[in-house]
Amino acid sequence: MYPQLHVISTGEDSAEQLLAKVSDIHHDIDFIHLREMHWTEKEVKKTANQLMKVGVPREKIIINTLAQVAHTVGVQGVQLPSNQGNLTKVKKMYPELIVGSSVHSVSEAISKEKEGADYLMFGHVFASDSKRDKAPRGIQALQEVIDLVRIPVIAIGGITPSVTKKVLHTGAGGIAVLSGILKSKEVKKAVHQYKQAMEGWE
């Protein structure tokens, strides 16, 4: 499997700004996550529909937390937080959705795999502006999770193009990036830098 590039919304763009950025880069990324904690369900639904209208394939759109919205809009999947205890229920209610789970430890990873997660997002691996109050878990912790589960593990947290190869060397199924892309002054250039760093990995 080629490593995947997940781009996650930062919560700092307006819907219009996010649409403009994603419409410019969606051909070069694997997934865009709508992770807008302060938006209403209506706003998330509207933006997901707008993304598809500007040409983003529904298969590339993942909505965070709101499984029912993901189902209603008809996008690819939902990303659940680690403390959401109804992963198995979500899988049964919405069998068409790919369901990912955020995890922060080996025990969480094993538990979420047993509950039926299709993939895991582990972090934060390196120091991150969005997690300034918490120490990074590090590359070794990422490796331990990857070694103990059979489903893909996507690494997140402080991942820059310069450390991307080191991350993929662990066997990670891909990387997830927030500010490194969507807060860049040149969003398209930033994506190409990550893609270049990911070249040659299978």
pLDDT in tens, 17-54: 999 999 999 999 999 999 999 999 999 999 999 999 99
Domain count, the chain: 1
DSSP-derived letter for residue 37 is: T
Question: Is 193 in contact with 22 (CB distance < 8 Å)?
Answer: no
Token couple for 156 = 């997140």
pLDDT at 200: 76
E strands, the chain, are 4-8, 31-34, 61-64, 77-80, 98-103, 119-122, 153-156, 174-177
Amino acid at the residue 55: G
Residue in the structure block whose two tokens are 């933006």: 47
Closest CA to 63 of 95, 39, 89: 39
The C-alpha atoms of residue 97 and residue 113 are separated, in whole angstroms, by: 16
Predicted local distance difference test score (pLDDT) of residue 136? 81
Residue closest to 197 by CA, chosen among 173, 166, 172: 166
Kindly report, residue by residue over 89-123, the tens digit of the pLDDT.
999 999 999 999 999 999 999 999 999 999 999 99
pLDDT confidence of residue 114: 96
Provide, rounded to the nearest whole percent, the portion of the chain with pLDDT above 70. Answer: 96
Instruction: Give the tens place of pLDDT for each residue, 127-141.
Output: 876 666 677 899 999
Q: Rounded to two decimals, what is the model's pTM? A: 0.95
Q: What is the pLDDT of residues 144-189, one digit of tens each?
A: 999 999 999 999 999 999 999 999 999 999 999 999 999 999 999 9
**CATH code (residue 63):** 3.20.20.70
Cα–Cα nearest to 126, from 82, 180, 181: 180
| Residue 71 a catalytic site member | no
- Over the stretch 74-90, which tens digit does the pLDDT of each residue have? 999 999 999 987 899 99
Neighbours of 173 (CB within 10 A): 19
Mean pLDDT estimate for the chain: 94
CA 24, 15, 183, 83 dihedral sign is negative
Q: Three-state SS for 98?
A: strand
Round to whole Å and give the CA distance between 18 and 201. Answer: 29
Q: Provide the domain limits for residue 93.
A: 4-198
Catalytic option among 33, 38, 124, 169: 124
CB-based contacts of 26, cutoff 8 Å, min separation 6: 32, 51, 55, 56, 57, 60
The packing angle between helices 161-168 and 138-148, to 10°, is 40
